[in-house]
Structure 1
Amino acid sequence: MVRNTTPRWGPRSGAMPRAITPITSAYTTPMGSSYPTPLASAYASAYTSEAELDNEGDAVKADGELEEATNSLAALTMDTPLRPFRRERKVPRTPFHFLSLPSELRIKIYEYFFDNAEDIIDLGPENYKRTHKKLGFMRTCRQIHAEATHFFYGTRTFRLFPTYPGKHFKSKKPMLARLKPIQRQCITSLELRLGPGWNAPPRGWVVNDALGLTECISLRTLTVFVECDPSDAYFKGFRRSDGFYETFCRRLLADVVKALPEVQTIQFDAWNSVKKSGAMMRSLMEVAAQLNMEIAWGPERGWTDADEPDEQGQAVLQAQTSEDGTQFVDIAVPPDVFANNIVAVA
């Protein structure tokens, strides 16, 4: 079989071949322009310049020389590869062994550490800034937690019910109820402050199981500080009723003392306006006597067991008669009292 060797795409029969005309541009010469031709250095070149090629060549050459020098130095060693230079790492210093100190020195350090904390801890907005941040020190370890807890809670006085104005005063969860049992066991001093809310005591001022008074096994002395006595004549017309606040404080003190398992002494203190012979103090001292509590006196008011019923701050009048029968009155006024509008009639 003979194959057809004629090209498949040959010219058609009867067709005349066309002449190939070269394509030429319509503009054979560049057009003239009034703008100057920009310099080649005005634009960044897309090609590597000769200076850059020289720099690359120098870098490659330097790398080659460094590798050659490294190989030559490594050849001088005995089967030990050359290590690159590294800075010597600083070794941390040995920590100070705080627990190796004697217990007396550790207590002194705790005392210095908690020096700026308040002596009387009350529920208020300043607790986080002054106290809460320092308590994080107790999380170091178990031994430091036990020692610091015993020192901090054993050297501060905790207010039983809040007296700070605002939401803290009406809180149903006092400071003592917010503490843990192990913290309440270390407390050695509690303060019951009477006077705030004398016309309408807050509902949170009640003795219940949430306070955890039965866990205060280290407490021996309860401090009762009286800010005011509503039975005084100055409160007439403002108090809720005669004897209302005195009865409330009497019951509150009795409930607190009965809930404390190891309390033995009640220390009374007050502002200068409070009298020991007033209805408030007489009712509180009766409760202490009925519960067989030892009574002590605080430093603020300066009371003693020898105080007379006539309180300090009262003017003493003495009538005298002279030899000629004239009567006159001597008025003894304490230095801290300013007496005015005093009229003496003979």
Structure 2
Amino acid sequence: MVDDDEAEAAARAAAARFRFFDLPFELRLRIFEFALLVPKTIDLDPTNLRTLGPHLRLFFVSNRMHEEAYRVFYGRNTFRVFPIHGRFFHTKAPLLARLSQRYRGVITKLELRLGPGWTKPPRCWVVDSRLGLADLGKMRTLKIFVECDPSSHPAFDGYGNGENWYTEFSVALARSLITQAPSVAEVEFDGYPGVPPSAPLVQGLLKEVKTHDKRITGSKERRWDKIVEIDVDADALMVNLGG
């Protein structure tokens, strides 16, 4: 028989338990946002186990927790199209290719980072069926971050496959992403301080985005928000961008 003291202790313990799913959905959502949103773009990286692993433990609590948590993690964070870490730079399976169709289906923001490996981009940097872009029905924003423009400075002369080859390569990537993920409504531009919005590579990308009639925005942090005011002069571009 359980004595009165044990029964009272058990009752107090039961009363002290916190029933997470008794909270209104709005409060649960705020908690998930606090626990699962990260400030950096998510990519294939050896540090993910240490930096992202603790966040994703929520996925294993229960089926219901997983259902609500994954929609916040994948739906609210930004994911990189092609990896830039050295260990994964030449992988044939970028992050999107490693995600399930269910996870890809809630992604809303991707980042295309241009500049790494500009002298010889990996052959696997190709927009094809491996990325599963057809599953990204909720994707709304494509962020294009430009690290460097090889056509804009004499220091880059003599490298690569010609004066404007990297611009053509980059614009083709952006074109493929926009056309294969038609739900994209906005293209956000950003870049390092050494790359002005007037750089030929950025101008080529702007021309391509305007061709597809997508809304253009820019990072306010590096004063790229004025990029929407740039009027691209197609005749002044030094390269045939296929437009």
TM above 0.5: yes
2:180 aligns with one of 259, 266, 291: 259
| 1:307 CA displacement | 5.3
1:209 aligns with 2:129: yes
Q: In structure 2, which of residues 168, 187, 199 is the aligned counterpart of residue 247 of structure 1? A: 168
Query: Which residue type is aligned with residue 267 of structure 1?
Result: E
Secondary structure of residue in 1 paired with 2:216: strand
Change over 3 Å in CA distance of 1:306–1:290 after alignment to 2: closer
User: Where do 5+ consecutive residues of structure 1 fail to align?
Assistant: 1-87, 310-346
Q: Secondary structure at the match of 2:217?
A: strand
Q: Which has the larger radius of gyration?
A: 1
Once the 2 structures are TM-superposed, how far is the Cα of residue 191 of structure 1 from its aligned partner? 0.5
Instruction: After TM superposition, give the deviation of residue 118 of structure 1 in Å.
Output: 4.7
2:111 aligned with 1:194: no
Higher relative contact order (CA 8 A, sep 6+): 2
Are the counterparts in 2 of residues 250 and 287 from structure 1 also a CA contact under 8 Å? yes
SS in 2 for 1:120: coil
Tell whether the 8 Å contact from 1:118 to 1:130 is kept in structure 2 after alignment: no
Q: SS at 1:190's partner residue?
A: strand
Question: Which runs of 5 or more structure 2 residues have no equivalent in the other structure?
Answer: 1-5, 233-243
- Rounded to whole Å, the distance in 2 between the matches of 1:308 and 1:185 is 35
Contact persistence 2:140–2:185 (CA under 8 A): yes
CA distance in 2, matches of 1:195, 1:215: 27
Identity level (%): 37
Partners of 1:170 and 1:214 in 2: CA distance: 23
Give the aligned partner of residue 140 of structure 2: 220
Corresponding residue for residue 105 of structure 1 = 27
Q: Distance in 2 between matches of 1:297 and 1:118?
A: 17
Shift of 1:188: 1.3
Q: 2:102 aligns with which of 154, 174, 182?
A: 182
Q: How many residues align?
A: 222
Distance in 2 between the 1:158 and 1:285 partners? 21
Q: Which runs of 4+ in 1 moved over 4 A?
A: 88-92
SS in structure 1 at match of 2:52 = helix
Q: Distance in 1 between matches of 2:124 and 2:197?
A: 28
Aligned Cα RMSD in Å?
Answer: 2.3
Q: Find the aligned partners of 1:191 and 1:99 in 2 and give their Cα distance.
A: 33
> Which of 169, 192, 200 is equivalent to 1:279?
200
For residues 126 and 294 of structure 1, do their structure 2 counterparts lie closer, same or farther at Cα, with a shift above 3 Å needed? same
Which whole-Å deviations, capped at 9, do the CAs of 1:140-160 have from their partners, x for residues lacking one?
Answer: 222211111111112211011
CA distance in 2, matches of 1:255, 1:306: 25
> In structure 2, what residue type is equivalent to 1:98?
F
- Matches of 2:171 and 2:94 in 1, distance apart? 20
- Give the deviation of 1:280 after TM superposition: 0.7
User: Which AA in structure 1 matches 2:214?
Assistant: M
Instruction: Compute the displacement of 1:255 (Å).
Output: 0.7
| Alignment of structure 1 residues 53-72 onto 2, 5 Å | none
The superposition leaves residues 232-273 of structure 1 with CA deviations (integer Å, 9 ceiling, x where unpaired) of 222112333211111111111111111113111111111121
